[in-house]
Amino acid sequence: MASTAAVPFWRSAGMTYITYSNICASLVRNCLKEPYKSEAISREKVHFAVSKWADGKPEKPSLRSDSPE
């Protein structure tokens, strides 16, 4: 068991539990066989725009997207 260390390795790498579990989920999805695999992977698409606000002004939005290239 890798997570028996005092602080798990992924947290010391600056990841949150969410990122960690997402990577695990993605690995599991890649283990599926074909008709199910592409269907499951299609549920991994991420698309949204984030903009931070400072002093009542929006900064330039950054786009998080991995729609099919």
Rounded distance between C-alpha atoms, residue 57 and residue 9, angstroms: 37
Our finding on whether 45 is near other proteins (CB under 8 A) is yes
Token couple for 17: 């539990």
Closer Cβ to other proteins, 33 or 50, answer by number: 50
Closest to 25 (Cα-Cα) out of 7, 47, 43: 43
Residue from the set 9, 12, 16, 30 that interacts with other proteins by CB under 8 A? 16
**Considering the rule CB under 8 A, would residue 2 count as an interface residue with other proteins?**
no
- In whole angstroms, give the CA distance from residue 51 to residue 20: 24
Contact residues for other proteins (CB under 8 A)?
A: 1, 3-8, 11, 16-19, 21-22, 25-26, 43-53, 55-58, 61, 63-64, 67
